[in-house]
Amino acid sequence: MSLNVERINRSRSRLGNTLVYFSGILLIGSSIAKFAHLPKVASQLAAIGFSGNRLTIIAALEIVSAVLFLVRPLRAAGLLMASAYMGGAIAAHMGHGEAVVQPAFVLALLWVGTWLRHPGILWSLPETAAQTRGASPSHVRNTLQRRAWQAS
């Protein structure tokens, strides 16, 4: 049984690494396109108010968040910065009637990849924190609930 669990954990870790690096490279590619002021990218972003120096600032924020995200010791800070960046992208797109599928998809990739690679990233959620510590969550108060939680 432990070999099976070990194999699942190894597979989960590999898939998480793949998604983490894929989404990080995706962000870097996007920022390079913005730095290069590619016509399609520049015109799309100009339509929602980001042109000239603003486009360069957006590209710089994106590449900094991507690099932080790809460096393992800085991944938590990178995830927060990339999440804020992608949230801003979603808001900007939504505010101008643009499709939000692309930034939402990248944001989902960032979080799913990080969660697969580092399951403790969601430590603030009671169930995740309890699983990480091997204890029952704080909202499980009575003995029957605690036993049921530990059995699951």
Q: pLDDT for 21-72, tens place per residue?
A: 999 999 999 999 999 999 999 999 998 889 889 999 999 999 999 999 999 9
Domain count, the chain: 2
Assess whether 143 and 102 both reside in one domain. Answer: no
Assess whether 107 and 127 both reside in one domain. Answer: no
Within 13 Å, how many C-alpha atoms sit on residue 34's CB side? 23
Assess whether 99 and 133 both reside in one domain. Answer: no
Q: For residues 125 and 127, what is the distance between their CA atoms, to the nearest angstrom? A: 6
Residue type for 131, please? Q
Domain that holds residue 68: 2-117
Assess whether 19 and 56 both reside in one domain. Answer: yes
Share of the chain above pLDDT 70, in %: 78
Please give the C-alpha separations between residue 116 and each of 30, 111, 120, 121, 151, in angstroms, as whole numbers: 24, 9, 9, 9, 23
Assess whether 92 and 31 both reside in one domain. Answer: yes
